[in-house]
Amino acid sequence: MATIKDVAAQASVSIATVSHVVNGTRFISDEVRERVQRAIAELDYQPNRVARNLRSSSTRTIGVIVSDIQNPFFPSVVRGIEDVLQAAEYTLLLGNSDWNLARERLYLATLRAEGVAGIIFTPSSEDVTEYQQFLKSGIPMVAIDRAPVGWGGDAVTVMNMKGAQDAVAHLIGQGHRRIGLINGPLQIGTAYERQTGYEQALIAGSLPIIPELIRNTDFRQTGGYETMNELLNLAEPPTATFIANNLMTLGAIQALYERNLHMPADMALIGFDDVPWAIALQVPLTTVAQPTYALGATAARLLLERLREPKLQSRHVVLETQLLVRASSGVEQATVDTSVKT
C-alpha cells in the first residue's frame, strides 16, 4: 500500500503538501496540486485511516450495539443509522448484546478501545450508573429504543405506553374483558412501559387487572410460544392477548395454530412492532407499528450533531407509534389494512 511518503516522493513535494492536498486544508498552487493528484492516482493512494485516527485522536467510526439483529426490528433501525452515517462518511461498528448486560459491557469496552467517535445503543440495563463511567469518558452516546432511568444523554424512543394503551383500548372496544399480556422482562424499560400502558387501558376501561393473565418472558419467539400455551392452559383463558413484541407474537401464533384455534374468534391478537409478513399471516395481524427506520436515522442525526457541537443540550426524541388494525383483533374485513409496507 502506498503511503503519503511515496506520493510525496513521486510528486517531488513534502508530505505536508500531500496532506493538505488530500484534506484541502491550505492553499496549494494549481500546478503542484495537479502533480500531487496525479501521483495519488498513479499509486492508487488511500490515506491510512488508522494513522489519521491516531494522529487526530478521533475516528470516523460509530459503534452500534443492538439487542438482537435477528429480530427484524433492529435491521431496520440499523439501516436508518447506516444511511445517515454513510452520507456523513462515517462507518459503523456493529455488535449484538443479546439482551445481555455482560455482552453489552464487553462491546462497550471494545468500542471505546477502538476509539469510536460515538455510540448508538439499546441499553441492556435500566441503571444509569452502569453507563456513568462511560459517559464521563466523553464519548457521546445515544440511547435508542429505551433509556435507563435518569439517562441524561441523547435518546430516541417511541411512545411505548401510548402504543400499548391504544392496542388494549382497541381490544376492549371489541368487547373483550379478559385480555392477556405477553411481555418481556420488566427490567427492560420498553417492557415496563408497555405493561403500564396495558394496565392503564384496563383501568380506563374499568376492567380488573388480573395477575394470572400477565406474563413476562424473554423477547424471543420461543418465549411467546410457551407463554401463549400457558395462557391457553388456564382454567379460564383470555379471549384476547396483547403481545409486546414481534417475535413473541410469532411464537404465540404458532401456539394457536398448533391447537387449531382461530383469530380473532378463539383469541384476538395484537402485536407490538409491525412486520412485513403481518399481512400474509393466516389472519392478518393487528400491530402497533414503530417507526424503526426513523428511530435509527434520528439517533444517527442526533449523534452527528453532538459530534459537531459537543455541548449541545441533550435531547430525548420520542416518536409516535401507530395502531394498524387488521383482522386478528376482530374487526370486519372491510376495514382491514392490506397495503404493502416496504
Note whether 112 binds its own copies by CB under 8 A: yes
The correct pick among 9, 37, 43, 47 for binding DNA (CB under 7 A) is 47
Note whether 338 binds its own copies by CB under 8 A: yes
Through-space distance between the first and last CA atoms of the chain, rounded to whole angstroms: 42
Q: Give me the residue label for grid cell 399480556.
A: 181
Q: Angle, to 10 degrees, between the axis of helix 189-204 and the axis of helix 160-173?
A: 40
The correct pick among 24, 56, 89, 280 for binding DNA (CB under 7 A) is 56
Question: Choosing among DNA, its own copies, none, which partner's interface includes residue 282 (Cβ < 5 to 8 Å by kind)?
Answer: its own copies
Note whether 137 binds DNA by CB under 7 A: no
Note whether 100 binds its own copies by CB under 8 A: no
In this complex, which beta carbon is closest to its own copies, that of residue 335 or of residue 342?
342
CA–CA gap between residue 87 and residue 176 (Å, rounded): 48
Note whether 91 binds its own copies by CB under 8 A: yes
What the block records as the C-alpha cell of 17 is 503538501
CA–CA gap between residue 141 and residue 155 (Å, rounded): 8
Contact between 112 and 124 under an 8 Å Cβ cutoff? The reply is: no
What the block records as the C-alpha cell of 21 is 492536498
CA–CA gap between residue 314 and residue 78 (Å, rounded): 22
Burial class (CB in 10 A: 0-12, 13-18, 19+), 141: buried
Q: What residues form DSSP beta bridges with 170? A: none
Span of 162-170, 199-207, 273-281, 301-309 interacting with its own copies by CB under 8 A? 273-281
The correct pick among 32, 92, 261, 319 for binding DNA (CB under 7 A) is 32
The correct pick among 113, 309, 311, 313 for binding its own copies (CB under 8 A) is 113
Question: Choosing among its own copies, DNA, none, which partner's interface includes residue 22 (Cβ < 5 to 8 Å by kind)?
Answer: DNA
Note whether 84 binds its own copies by CB under 8 A: no
What the block records as the C-alpha cell of 100 is 445481555
Contact between 62 and 120 under an 8 Å Cβ cutoff? The reply is: yes
CA–CA gap between residue 226 and residue 277 (Å, rounded): 22
Note whether 70 binds its own copies by CB under 8 A: yes
Q: Least distance (Å) from DNA to the CB of residue 115?
A: 9
Query: How is residue 109 annotated by DSSP?
Result: H
Size of the residue set binding DNA (CB under 7 A): 32
Q: Least distance (Å) from its own copies to the CB of residue 180?
A: 18
Burial class (CB in 10 A: 0-12, 13-18, 19+), 196: middle
Query: What's the longest Cα–Cα distance across the chain?
Result: 87
Note whether 46 binds its own copies by CB under 8 A: yes
Q: What are phi and psi of 145, to 5 degrees?
A: 75, -45
The correct pick among 59, 190, 216, 227 for binding its own copies (CB under 8 A) is 59
Which residues are at the interface with its own copies (CB under 8 A)? 1, 44, 46-51, 53-54, 59, 61, 69-70, 72, 74-76, 78-79, 82, 86, 91-96, 106, 109-115, 133, 137, 220-222, 225, 247, 250-251, 253-254, 257-258, 275-277, 279-283, 338, 340, 342
Q: Which residues bind DNA (CB under 7 A)?
A: 1, 3-5, 12-17, 19-20, 22-23, 25-29, 31-33, 45-48, 51-52, 54-57
